[in-house]
Amino acid sequence: MNFSCASIFTASKWTAASLFWFLSGNGIFGNRCDGCPATIRASCYSPIVFALFYVLVLLQLAGGIYSLWEGLQWYGMVRKRLGSHAGFYAPVAAVICPCKGNEPGLEENLTALTKFEYPSYEIYFALATSLDPALRVIERVKAASVRPVHIVIAGPGENCGEKVYNLRRAVEALPEQFEALVFTDSDVRLPRGWLGKLVAPLQDPRIGATTGYRWIIPSRRIGEGGFASAMVSAWNAAIATMLGKSRGNFCWGGGTAIRRKTFDEAHVLEAWEGAVSDDFALTSALERHSKEIIFCPECLVPTLHPWTGTELVEFTNRQMAITRVYSPRRWALGAVAHVGYSVTLIYAAVTILVAMIAGDPWVQMAFLTTLIPLLAAVKGAFRTLAVTELLPEWKANFSEWGWVWTFLAPVVPFLFAWNFLASLASKTIRWRGIQYEMISPSMTRVLKR
């Protein structure tokens, strides 16, 4: 399906013309419904009810068209990046990976870190305690690796996130030889060329950091506990297309590269003190020093995890709670967009139902309302096309799960709306078995280990 500026403009003119026809010639505000109960008649024919319907629906249609346009731009950006060469800059790098627990696929994920096609790098695994079951896996990976592998036992952190404390101790343990620092997570499966593509753009000293992002692939079939995986995958996909414009980019903890000089100049270690979110604290430190963050779509990485419904809710609520504390502006913009979408569709459904009961014309209203989720689905389809080109080796998975990122895209804003409302109620989160209270970006209270 091909879209252009002309077709979008034509659709906008048609929508405006339809609205004029409804308001002026269809008798919506003037028909009688003598057979309706008084309560239905009053609500059905209130000009305010229908005016609000059209205001909300048209605002969402305008937002949906703009969002689709951004999706098309994102797709174009991906294709442009794939057609360009990352460059040859390859300084000595330290790859730092915090670990906790023996999660599914851990050994394969960590082994992938030892097989990058990169001239000179060493790996640092950081653990809170030597009793962590991940240590045995790391030791096996270390024994089989041709690359130098180091293990840092950080110890228990106080008044900050355990992951943040592990990262701080790992950075402090690094010798001076490393020119670039690369941070990743233990739950992603990184391809051989990933490190070189992520580090190469740092050749430009104006760039503060480069970052990738995850693409969650459902790991269970629908009917076998796979719906939670499908929902979290569609939810995550919506965030992936937010990255691309330098002003809105943020560092992702699962894949960020930064020059060591920039890391020191931005005082990232100080920014991590008292923080629970490593990536948002790093992002804020770079923003304070006017350092640009570049998104590298070619460094998008697949993540396979057997999600449960409880994990889905905990994960998505946690991400929005963290965003509210560390990036209030991003949180507010997202809340307006997703809560507005959800409220509009619910209000429209109720208004159309009342019109049906009252015998009032409703088909055209339903058609306009249907365009809102349709635009979201089309944007989801473009996401899928882009990621299929980014991860060709996962083509079989996309053939099986491609419908998720298209057909669940119109449903995802309702989950986001719930996440935003939940984040208003509490600043307490649970992460890897530890309960935290986020008092501020630089102050965290550990409630329960």
| Successive 10-residue mean pLDDT values, the chain, 449 residues | 40 41 40 46 64 94 95 91 84 96 90 96 96 95 96 89 95 95 94 95 93 88 74 93 84 95 96 94 94 93 84 93 94 95 96 87 92 96 92 86 92 96 93 90 88
pLDDT for position 222? 63
Closest listed residue to residue 232, CA positions, set 432, 421, 412: 412
Say if strands 180-184 and 255-259 run parallel, antiparallel, or are unpaired: antiparallel
Q: What is the DSSP string of 207-269?
A: EEEEE--EEEE--S-TTTT-HHHHHHHHHHHHHHTT--STTT----TTEEEEEHHHHHHTTHH
User: In a 10 Å sphere around its CB, with 0-12 CB exposed, 13-18 middle and 19+ buried, how is residue 11 labelled?
Assistant: middle
pLDDT for position 4? 41
Contact 281, 441 (CB under 8 A): yes
Residue ranges covered by each domain of the chain:
5-79+333-425, 85-213+252-307
User: Count of residues for the chain?
Assistant: 449
pLDDT for position 27? 41
CATH second-level architecture of 85-213+252-307?
Alpha-Beta Complex (3.90)
pLDDT for position 176? 93
d(CA 177, CA 128): 25
d(CA 297, CA 133): 33
SS3 105: coil
pLDDT for position 223? 57
Check residue 429 and report its DSSP letter: E
| Single-letter code of the amino acid located at 59 | L
pTM: 0.85
pLDDT for position 117? 94
Closest listed residue to residue 19, CA positions, set 374, 369, 378, 376: 369
Closest listed residue to residue 360, CA positions, set 19, 46, 16: 46
| Single-letter code of the amino acid located at 71 | G
pLDDT for position 2? 40
Q: Kind and range of the H or E element at 400?
A: helix 395-407
